[in-house]
């Protein structure tokens, strides 16, 4: 059969039977039938360099992981109500990578589920604390970062500004408080303590208590944005002083991807009370986890927690095989080495092309911020998309992200090699030359940019700035009230 005809037919069939609000990558979606390492193959046999998939951490169709899963399925796959070596061993191995205050693991099936569980534990801890003090628990509020995404459940959508302030979003719940996105490239909102105090003050003014602060260790949906030095420690200090549990979402950046550390929070200089793991943990087999302090597990522990698939034998086998492959292939060191080369070459490219406003990253977690002009630093989502589509024509897969969708995101399987990095840089260089060298391409992109600005950039920027103003105003109002109270006490 003709692969192109089949691809078109599949698209029609999918549209007929599958959820209409699920998205497909690219204007002409790909029909991928096979993977190997950092490559994907379509039904016509074409090979693509995958710079996007951070789930297949140890490589597409990794043989050791597949053998471990299949071997376990051939024996038994049942739930965590039976004893199994795998569940205990995976928990131990995970804890061995974490600071000693994290002592207890729960296994789940997705990042959303694990974040939801972490939130439940934070709420339980606050209720227990109020109970011990003989008080009724205050309304449990949660603080998160602007542009964060923490999952598709009702609970996690509510703490995901990426969604609730995105197109067709439901808006912010009154129990959620959003810290402004620190933007090191533009120099905005870099004071973590001030932002945290604002979120806490906004909660108190609404009669609530922030029971949890959740953040990715690097803001992936925020456009591969790294916290400025000292930012997260300052937020944690403020949050803890107010009694909140600090949750690190490592779903995208964990498991050695950052090169210099196994976990992103280690680079951010903090020690969380709960850490959430997802995507890469099973290399594509549904597997996620939360690691928490003994205290959090104990206050949560009165009611049974049961999760049908969480911690099943096959999932544990997948998780153990992934950890083993990370060690065997020395993937953390490889991410550091390949990432350093990639970043250096991308920065050289940026120096030749003013529309590359910023190149940031660590290990194999890299963002390229595309702008309309280096002076205004105005986001250029249409140019970013143009580059992504050009790269597809050269069989290199990229994605775009960030609040304005103008950041090219690079987070490939960790088996990505130096040759792969060079191939990617070569294609990006070709794309940039093609775009800047063609009057017609530039004009088309500039026209699309204007439409994007109206539809997304301006409304998002307005929403984020309005939130930031509100957060800082709440902090200022609380500080003024405290100063007035001190003055009164002195009279
Ligand atoms: N947290 C982060 C940072 C994520 O990127 C995602 C998924 N994109 C999730 C949580 C949710 O994970 P899942 O899709 O497995 O539920």
- Split at pLDDT 50, 70, 90, the class of 92 is very high
Mutate to test the pocket of ligand 1, among 52, 54, 150 (most ligand atoms within 8 A of CB): 150
Alpha carbons 152 and 169: distance in angstroms, whole number: 12
pLDDT score, position 147:
96
CATH number for the domain whose boundaries are 63-328: 3.40.640.10
pLDDT score, position 58:
98
Over 90: is that where the pLDDT of 470 sits? yes
| Cα-to-centroid distance, 447 and ligand 1 (Å) | 33
Q: Which two tokens stand for residue 381?
A: 């989502």
pLDDT score, position 380:
98
ipTM computed for the complex: 0.99
Using an 8 Å Cβ cutoff, are 287 and 315 in contact? yes
Q: How many CB atoms lie within 10 A of CB 67?
A: 12
- Ligand 1: residues whose CB is within 6 Å? 110-112, 115, 149-152, 216, 220, 249, 251-252, 278
Evaluate whether 3-58+330-437 and 63-328 have a shared fold: no
Average pLDDT, the chain: 97
| pLDDT tens sequence across 358-406 | 999 999 999 999 999 999 999 999 999 999 999 999 999 999 999 999 9
Using an 8 Å Cβ cutoff, are 300 and 125 in contact? yes
Over 90: is that where the pLDDT of 302 sits? no
pLDDT score, position 133:
93
| Cα-to-centroid distance, 156 and ligand 1 (Å) | 10
Over 90: is that where the pLDDT of 491 sits? no
Q: Which two tokens stand for residue 452?
A: 């994007």
Q: Which two tokens stand for residue 476?
A: 């200022």
| Cα-to-centroid distance, 148 and ligand 1 (Å) | 10
- Could you tell me which of 353, 341, 430 has the C-alpha nearest to residue 387? 430
Whether CATH 3.40.50.720 fits 3-58+330-437:
no
Mutate to test the pocket of ligand 1, among 279, 282, 290, 365 (most ligand atoms within 8 A of CB): 279
**What angle, rounded to 10 degrees, do the helices at 63-75 and 313-328 form?**
160
Alpha carbons 321 and 62: distance in angstroms, whole number: 10
- Split at pLDDT 50, 70, 90, the class of 149 is very high
Q: Where in the chain are the domains? A: 3-58+330-437, 63-328
Tell me the percentage of the chain whose pLDDT exceeds 70: 100
């Amino acid at each position: 059969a003709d692969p192109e005809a089949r691809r078109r037919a599949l698209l029609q069939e999918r549209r007929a039977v599958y959820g209409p609000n699920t998205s497909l990558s690219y204007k002409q979606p790909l029909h991928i039938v096979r993977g190997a390492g950092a490559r994907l193959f379509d039904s016509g046999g074409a090979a693509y360099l995958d710079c996007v998939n951070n789930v297949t951490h140890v490589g597409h169709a990794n043989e050791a992981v597949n053998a471990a899963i299949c071997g376990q399925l051939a024996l038994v796959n049942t739930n965590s109500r039976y004893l199994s070596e795998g569940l205990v061993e995976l928990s131990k191995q995970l804890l061995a990578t974490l600071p000693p205050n994290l002592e207890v693991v729960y296994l789940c099936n997705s990042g959303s589920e694990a974040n939801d569980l972490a939130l439940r534990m934070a709420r339980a801890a606050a209720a227990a604390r109020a109970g011990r003090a003989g008080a009724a628990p205050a309304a449990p509020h949660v603080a998160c970062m602007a542009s964060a995404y923490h999952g598709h459940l009702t609970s996690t959508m509510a703490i995901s500004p990426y969604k609730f302030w995105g197109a067709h979003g439901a808006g912010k719940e009154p129990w959620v408080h959003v810290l402004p996105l620190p933007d090191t490239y533009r120099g905005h909102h870099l004071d973590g303590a001030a932002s945290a105090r604002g979120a806490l003050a906004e909660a108190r003014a609404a009669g609530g208590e922030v029971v949890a602060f959740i953040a990715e260790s690097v803001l992936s949906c925020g456009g591969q944005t790294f916290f400025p030095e000292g930012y997260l420690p300052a937020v944690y200090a403020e949050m803890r002083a107010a009694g909140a549990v600090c949750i690190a979402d490592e779903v995208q950046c964990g498991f050695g991807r950052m090169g210099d550390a196994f976990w992103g929070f280690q680079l951010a200089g903090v020690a969380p009370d709960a850490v959430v793991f997802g995507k890469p943990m099973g290399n594509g087999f549904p597997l996620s986890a939360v690691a928490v302090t003994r205290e959090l597990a104990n206050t949560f522990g009165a009611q049974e927690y049961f999760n049908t698939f969480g911690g099943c034998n096959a999932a544990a086998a997948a998780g153990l095989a992934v950890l083993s492959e990370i060690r065997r292939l020395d993937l953390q060191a490889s991410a550091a080495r390949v990432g350093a080369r990639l970043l250096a070459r991308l920065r050289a490219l940026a120096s030749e092309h003013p529309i590359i406003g910023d190149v940031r990253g660590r290990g194999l977690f890299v963002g390229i911020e595309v702008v309309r002009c280096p002076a205004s630093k105005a986001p250029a989502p249409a140019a970013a998309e143009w580059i992504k589509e050009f790269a597809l024509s050269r069989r290199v897969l990229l994605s775009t992200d960030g609040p304005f969708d103008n950041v090219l995101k690079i987070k490939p399987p960790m088996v990505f090699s130096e040759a792969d990095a060079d191939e990617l840089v070569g294609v990006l260089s070709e794309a940039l030359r093609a775009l800047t060298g063609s009057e017609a391409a530039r004009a088309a992109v500039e026209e699309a940019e204007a439409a994007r600005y109206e539809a997304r950039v301006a409304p998002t920027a307005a929403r984020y700035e309005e939130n930031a103003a509100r957060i800082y105003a709440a902090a200022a109002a609380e500080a003024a009230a405290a100063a007035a109270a001190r003055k009164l006490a002195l009279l």
